[in-house]
Amino acid sequence: MTNRHLMYRRLMQLITAFILIVTPIGGIFRLDVPSKSFVVFGQKLWFQETYLLIVTLLFFLFVLIGVIKILGRVACGWMCPRNLMIELLEKIAPSLGVAKPKSLIHVMLRVVVQVIFAFLVGFTFFSYFFDWKVILQDVFSLTFSLPASLTLALTVLSFIDVFVFHHTFCQVACPYGLMQSILGDEKTMAIHFDSDGCIKCNACTKACFLHIDPKSEARLTCVACGDCTVACQKVTSRRGKPIPLRYRFGDNDHLTVGRFFRDLRFLFLGGIVVLLFSGLLLGVIKHQSVAIAMAPAKWSKAIAVVPGMGINNYQIYVNNGSNQVRTYRLEVTGVDPSFIFFNENPVTLSPGTDQEVRLTVKVPKGTYIENDSIPLTIRVHSSNPDDPIAEAKGIFVMPSNIP
């Protein structure tokens, strides 16, 4: 049971670390600060697409809230890569102030391994904000760019944190721990102690890698890894005693997982997560590499007349949602091409940028009946033939009283 429990816990920690590293590197999700964009499922989106950015951030926020409400500190012991790092380092050599190191070789080995772990922390964190290839290239070429400098700074802080402060960070500064202390309630999973079945063997205390007594009210310190429950079960099972330490959803011994998942608050939270994920997926699928919008002009009168001519003015907004520079050619149908005048056509746009193009439609008097509405369609043709043709609809209104 002991080996199996530890194997499952190590596996969960490694899977979580793998997901955290692969998520930005694999383009599943990351922000890209230099280009003011964000990547979702390999699709680069832009900060201008505010609704998608908000939906993405809300999705991850509610997933985090769900983990906090359900698992609480169990996520610390079973999923946190930092705890995995500390536990492995403790196997090599104890940290300062905990125990005397085994030997100088063990201390040196711990330092080397910890430098690698600390760099992984810095590299992974800033891979969510900068291109990971740029970070590695700049770090190993000793080019102290902003991404490389931030990564190295966090590497140093992570090294000092783990080597000197050990688990103090978990108790006073961990954002997840602080949120759990606020959002956790009586139905959050935790390790509960029943003093009636305790034989005071202290096997649980000896098994705790945090060197705390699980029988005490140390909820803010305990990471609920469950090693104490395994040690407790090993002793009490030989004596035919009930297990004093075990995982429970709240203080109610009859509160099962099934009842927890039927909780209306959980269903509401789960529904929000599913809804946000569906909206995010739909937004990514429907994301266009080129977009266009058409509106009446603000730079001049929308409808005007000059001798012998009826005039309509429009503002055309063209957006390049692709990852490359694009040149776009605008085309208007619905009226004779000789009536169409752009202030600029074609237009060249950098990735993630947009531009306003002014369109004027001048129609000779007598071409249409006064106040008649003529449907217009404006299309955008990209220099890349693989891009879709975006279009927008508008109306030309034939002015009256043309001199």
Host H or E run for residue 354? strand 354-364
Q: Are residues 127 and 82 in the same domain?
A: yes
Q: Are residues 260 and 371 in the same domain?
A: no
Instruction: Quote the domain boundaries for residue 383.
Output: 290-397
Inside any domain, residue 24:
yes
> What is the distance between the alpha carbons of residues 177 and 76, in angstroms, rounded to a whole number?
8
Q: Are residues 152 and 16 in the same domain?
A: yes
Question: Does pTM surpass 0.85?
Answer: no
Q: Are residues 170 and 42 in the same domain?
A: yes
Q: Are residues 50 and 75 in the same domain?
A: yes
Inside any domain, residue 120:
yes
Residue 321 · residue 388 · CB < 8 Å: no
Q: Are residues 167 and 308 in the same domain?
A: no
Q: Are residues 33 and 125 in the same domain?
A: yes
Inside any domain, residue 236:
no
Q: How far is CA 73 from CA 6, 69, 77, 282, 334, in A?
A: 17, 10, 7, 33, 64
Q: Of 261, 290, 80, which is closest to residue 174 (Cα–Cα)? A: 80
> What is the distance between the alpha carbons of residues 71 and 67, in angstroms, rounded to a whole number?
6
Q: How far apart are the first and last CA of the chain?
A: 95
Q: Are residues 123 and 13 in the same domain?
A: yes
Q: Are residues 276 and 295 in the same domain?
A: no
State how many domains the chain has.
2
Q: Are residues 275 and 298 in the same domain?
A: no
Inside any domain, residue 212:
no
Q: pLDDT digit of tens for each residue in the chain (403 aa)? A: 457 888 888 899 999 999 999 999 998 888 888 877 778 887 777 666 667 778 888 888 888 888 888 888 888 888 888 888 888 777 765 554 444 556 677 777 778 888 898 999 999 999 999 999 999 999 999 888 999 999 999 999 988 887 777 777 776 778 887 787 777 777 788 888 887 778 888 888 888 877 788 887 655 678 888 888 888 888 887 777 778 888 887 655 544 556 556 666 677 777 888 888 888 787 777 777 788 888 898 888 889 999 999 999 999 988 888 878 899 999 999 999 999 999 999 999 988 778 889 999 999 998 999 889 999 999 999 988 888 888 899 999 999 888 8
Structure tokens at 175: 């954002």
Q: Which residue has the tokens 């935790």?
A: 190
Q: What is the CATH number of the domain that holds 323?
A: 2.60.40.10
Count the neighbouring beta carbons within 10 Å of the beta carbon of residue 307. Answer: 7
Structure tokens at 100: 């005397």
Residue 318 · residue 330 · CB < 8 Å: yes
Q: What secondary structure does DSSP assign to 265-331, as a single string?
A: HHHHHHHHHHHHHHHHHHHHHH--SEEEEEEE-SSS-SEEEETTEEEEEEEEEEEE-SSS-EEEEEE
Inside any domain, residue 17:
yes
Inside any domain, residue 8:
yes
Inside any domain, residue 11:
yes
- Amino acid, single-letter form, for residue 351: P
Inside any domain, residue 227:
no
Q: Are residues 341 and 381 in the same domain?
A: yes
> What is the distance between the alpha carbons of residues 61 and 269, in angstroms, rounded to a whole number?
11
Q: Are residues 35 and 145 in the same domain?
A: yes
401: left (phi over 0), alpha (psi -120 to 50) or beta: left
